[in-house]
Amino acid sequence: MNKKGFTLVELLSSIVFVSLIAFVLIEIVMSLKNLYDTSGLKTELLNKQGIISNKINSTLLTNSVVLVQRCGNECIDFTMSDNSVIKLEIDIKNNIISFGDYKTELNQNSQFGQIRINNILSTFSHPTKFDGILNIKIPIKSNNFEDKDFGINIVYQYNSNYTTINID
Amino acid sequence: MKKNNSGFILAEAIIVSTLALTVLVVLYTQFNKINRNYNITFSYNSVENIYAANNFKMYLLKSGYDNLVSALESMPERYLDIKSCPIEYLSENSHCKNLVDVISAKNIFFTNADIMDLKKEIENKTEISFEMKEFIKSISRNVNDDQYRLIIEFNDGSFATILI
């Protein structure tokens, strides 16, 4: 009788064992590949979001804003107490945002949406406390992360005795 | 008849299989941990959320900070949940609610800067989500007795904390 070869049980158990190892390894490799593909893009988008947000927020926090008004569809002028004007502008076609002297462009896989501005004024009035909230949303969408918004959400609290919002 | 001595006995095969599988399982679980921590870093203390927390801090400093401090010091719990803008502590309640809505806050806790006691206290609290507990556990200790802290959970599942 030919005694070379494997028994059926040996074959089956080997196949099951190898399949299990292959499955686990494939899971790990697929996750790694996904991480590799997305992490670079995600990091870049979040960095951009952070830099733009920091630029706008820090300027608004350190300066006294007396007037906020639209200067176009995707343009807002901030007039400070020293009469200087800082323009926030989105060039949707070229994917560029500018705020004062600062300008940056998004990569080709992401795009700006339209600026959404909301001004909420409370019913009370006080000489020093905040009674208004200006909310400016600048959406940033990416083709690689369809369900996520990497946009900017600017929240500016003000006292209506000192700051006028004219965004209609 | 000559005995065929090539091959492995069953015990050897089982031992090797078990070892290999154990290594794979450990590898997989550790990798999942790394993957989870990688995703978490994007949701903790982002620039956007820090500024949102800062906005709430600015409001508190003008409208009820002293009341909150007194209330916290007199309570047995080590935190105050102020997401609903409780009128007994915070003035300009309507502005507060608008602000909470605009920054998309889901939960706002006011607590001491040194959160060691808070970490112990929240362990068995079922009303606090697991993710919130994990975030609080990740906050480093600040032993300054004069300072307080805001901990905010946002609607998108991200978190931020800021000292006051």
Assess whether B69 and B35 both reside in one domain: no
Assess whether B86 and B154 both reside in one domain: yes
pLDDT band per the 50, 70, 90 thresholds, residue B6: low
Is A77 or B10 the better-scoring residue by pLDDT? A77
Assess whether B52 and B39 both reside in one domain: no
pLDDT tens per residue across span B82-133: 999 998 888 888 899 999 999 999 999 999 888 888 888 888 888 889 999 9
Assess whether B55 and B108 both reside in one domain: yes
Q: How far is residue A162's CA from residue A65's CA, in Å, rounded to a whole number?
A: 8
pLDDT (0 to 100) of residue B57? 95
Q: So what's the ipTM on this one?
A: 0.80
Assess whether B119 and B62 both reside in one domain: yes
The nearest alpha carbon in chain A to B18 belongs to A17
Contact at CB, B92 and A122, closer than 8 angstroms: yes
Assess whether B92 and B63 both reside in one domain: yes
Q: How far is residue A139's CA from residue A15's CA, in Å, rounded to a whole number?
A: 51
| Residues of B within an 8 Å Cβ radius of A | 4, 13, 17, 20-21, 24-25, 27-28, 31, 35, 38, 42, 46-48, 51-52, 54-55, 58-59, 62-63, 91-92, 94-95, 98-99, 102-104
Q: How far is residue B164's CA from residue B156's CA, in Å, rounded to a whole number?
A: 24
Angle at A51 between CA A45 and CA A52, to 5 degrees: 90
Is residue A1 assigned to a domain?
no
Range of the domain at B32: 1-43
Range of the domain at A150: 8-166
Q: Considering only the beta carbons, identify the residue of B20, B27, B58 that sits closest to A157.
A: B58
Assess whether B104 and B157 both reside in one domain: yes
pLDDT (0 to 100) of residue B59? 94
Assess whether B100 and B143 both reside in one domain: yes
Q: How far is residue B142's CA from residue B127's CA, in Å, rounded to a whole number?
A: 25
Instruction: Check CB contact of A30 with chain B, cutoff 8 Å.
Output: no
Instruction: Check CB contact of A123 with chain B, cutoff 8 Å.
Output: yes
Which DSSP state fits B124?
A: G
Does residue A168 carry a pLDDT above 90? no
**Which distant-in-sequence residues (6+ apart) come within 8 Å of B100 by Cβ?**
B56, B83, B85, B108
pLDDT (0 to 100) of residue B5? 63
Is residue A151 assigned to a domain?
yes
Is residue A81 assigned to a domain?
yes
Question: How much is the mean pLDDT over chain A?
Answer: 88
Assess whether B54 and B36 both reside in one domain: no
| Chain B nearest C-alpha distance from A50 (Å) | 5
